[in-house]
Chains A and B, each alone.
Chain A
Amino acid sequence: MATVQATAQATGARKVKPNEQKIPLARVLGRWAFMWPILALNLIVIVIPSIAGLGIAFTEWSGYGQPEFIGLANFDRLMQDAVFFKSLSNNIVWTAIFLTIPIFMGLLGAYLLAGIKRGQMIFRVLYFIPFVLASVVNAQVWRFLLHHRVGIGPWLADLGITDILDVALFGKAETALYTVAFVDIWHFWGFLVVIYLAAMSAVDVELYEVARLDGASRFQQFRYVTLPSIRPTIVFTLLMILIWSATVFDYVYILTSGKPAHASEVMGTYLYETAFFRFDAGYAGAIGVVMTLWVALAVGGFVFLRRRGWDV
């Protein structure tokens, strides 16, 4: 469990090397042989195509034949592309939603769970279930429940509650993106509960006792003991959400494919249709570069704060 943090630390910290004995060259090469398979695979599947991905952004390319170098033309085009800006702003909205609602739910669930003795395990398992189910399955769950003709909506309408859920939430421009985000939150928040609960379990119990002796309320205990103690874990989940929000694809593609009229389009789906349905691979590559810049800025900022001595 602690490895989420350990992983976070590994990005920033450098280890001091222990004393090394002289090892014969043949043996050193032999040792590297253990690394060849993974390095070769990563080179072929991730490294080379990633470099190519940066490269094609500066070309006109259909995916077949020779890419033609066109400098920054694709980025000029992006700057005038209303659909791209709609996608980018949807990614930003998505980020804002995910940096708040699931975090709040995760902290709430974890804090309440940390405060009980019986049933902690069963709640943890229940919350985690949607996280292990496939996007295609979870999409079906909510496409059904939120359908304006069969799901919760008509049932509420029978009770006299109309115009809330008896409308096509996935099909309306004003609601499509938020409805998809809701489904993804439902799938994701339990993961945060488990991560935060693990971090909270490592907090020194005496800190709570001292706080209680000082007459701290439950909320004050949370605010002044729990939150500061698990801050590194929270910051790390913030970073993960920042990265994932740039690259979100599955739920949007499966539930709305960016419709209606690009109202729920995100960069991930726009890139996908640009590359694979309109065979404008060079232009799609430019969108990929924007997404990569987003991720690089997030990770860079995280490492920077860490180097500055922030305890994150």
Chain B
Amino acid sequence: MGRLNIFGSGRSQSTLPNYIILILLALFAALPILLLVSNSLKSTSEIASSPFAVPRDFLWSNYGEAFDKGNYAVTIRNSAILTISTIAGSLTVAGLAAYALSRLKLKGSNVLSFYFLVGIGVPAQLFIIPLFFMWKQLGLVNTHVGLIIIYTALQSPFATYLLRSYMLSIPEEFVDAAKIDGASDWQVFRHIIAPLTGPGFLTAGLVIGLFTWNEFLFAVTFLPEKEFKPVATSLYAFQGRFSRDWGLTNAGSVIMMAPVLILFLALQRRFIEGLTQGGLKA
């Protein structure tokens, strides 16, 4: 992943055209987001008259209003519950599985690895209908637990895959030493493998957290009731309700975006690594 310059020293070929196109592409990617933020600080009339200018008075009150009308005190709490529980659940389940698949020479573990890949490819739309009516029967619709179980099941195969590759890179000697001392499989996992897989857990946790915070399809289906909604689906309803009040809906969208953007900029290497390795489910 080094900064390899495939054009050699650059004496024979100028890189100026590269930069021009790259900057245009960067503007294409980032400018719309900047405009969202800048237009979250204007009144509706100012947005209509000068959508591309810097805000005149920086109308911070849009944020307070969006926070109240968008019910963010409740929805952020809901999203936090879903996100933290899903991260904890997925990492636990996936950590155990990754250990078994990477270290414990299970018969049929290749079949399992293959299954997880297939599982990642199965369209959500195939199982979401029976799952919904099953959850309805079990009383799990409109409960956070119900959605956490689903998210954990959806995210754990990816996390297993990622953690497994981390665990495979741990030298065998660490484990051998412990085994000579009579450690059980569980003790090896608990005291050697799991701690040494720390960076893997962090990367996987970030990706799972991002997925859960942003997720829409399952959230809109399994938590229709207002008081249980996470930020994503509540924001969707909010955007529909105040569709002409651009300052307000822009501010509401920035509230949802801000934590992701800050965390991503701070830990971009880990995010990018995790999301590109996750491949299929990203």
Chain A interface residues (CB < 8 Å from chain B): 1, 3-4, 6-7, 10-11, 14-15, 18, 20, 23, 27-28, 30-32, 34-35, 37-38, 41-42, 44-46, 48-50, 52-54, 56, 63-64, 105, 108-109, 112-117, 119-121, 123-137, 139-145, 149-152, 154-155, 186, 190-191, 194-195, 198, 200-201, 203, 205, 208-209, 212, 218, 221, 226, 236, 240, 243, 246-247, 249-250, 253-254, 267-268, 271-272, 275-276, 281, 284-285, 287-289, 291-292, 295, 299
Contacts and interface: CB of A to CB of B under 8 A. Distances in A.
Given A50-B126, A268-B125, A10 B153 contact: no
A246 B121 CA distance: 11
A63 B96 contact: no
B210 A132 contact: yes
A38 B96 contact: yes
B72 interface: no
Given A133-B261, A136-B232, A186-B28, A203 B97 contact: no
A136 B249 CA distance: 11
A114 B4 contact: yes
- How would you classify the secondary structure of chain A's contact residues: helix, strand, loop or mixed? helix
A292 B21 CA distance: 39
B15 A116 contact: yes
Contact of A34 (B4, B30, B104, B279): B104
Contacts of B282: 131, 191
Interface string B3-24: 1111110101101001101100
A61 to B, nearest CB: 9
Which 5 residue pairs are nearest across A and B when measured between Cβ atoms? A45-B153, A52-B130, A49-B127, A34-B100, A134-B214
B123 A288 contact: yes
A249 B125 contact: yes
B25 interface: yes
A128 B268 contact: yes
Nearest to B151: A45
A132 B29 contact: no
**Interface range on chain B (Cβ under 8 Å from partner):** 35 or more
A253 B239 CA distance: 13
Contacts of A45: 127, 131, 149-150, 153-154
Contacts of B133: 63-64, 281
B22 A44 contact: no
B235 to A, nearest CB: 5
Interface string B109-153: 010111001110111111111111110100000000000011011
Contacts of B52: 155
Given A1-B276, A41-B152, A299-B121, A117 B8 contact: no
Contacts of A152: 51
- How would you classify the secondary structure of chain B's contact residues: helix, strand, loop or mixed? helix
B153 A42 contact: yes
A134 B1 contact: no
A34 B6 contact: no
A143 B240 CA distance: 11
B129 A141 contact: no
B47 to A, nearest CB: 6
Contacts of B250: 140, 144
A52 B132 CA distance: 12
B126 A114 contact: no
Given A1-B273, A38-B96, A249-B124, 5 more contacts: A42-B153, A45-B153, A131-B275, A287-B125, A288-B123
A243 B126 contact: no
Nearest to A52: B130
Contact of A133 (B15, B33, B149, B189): B33
A149 B21 CA distance: 30
Given A116-B19, A144-B246, A291-B123, A194 B276 contact: yes
B2 interface: yes
B31 to A, nearest CB: 9
Interface stretch (B54-62, B155-163, B174-182): B155-163
Contacts of A151: 51
Contacts of A18: 105
Given A49-B131, A52-B130, A130-B33, A30 B8 contact: no
A7 B123 contact: no
Contacts of A119: 19, 22
A247 B157 CA distance: 19
A312 B52 CA distance: 46
Interface in B184-225: 185, 189, 210, 213-214, 216-217, 221
B192 to A, nearest CB: 14
A291 B125 contact: yes
Nearest to A292: B126
B276 to A, nearest CB: 5
B6 A123 contact: no
B11 to A, nearest CB: 11
A54 B257 CA distance: 37
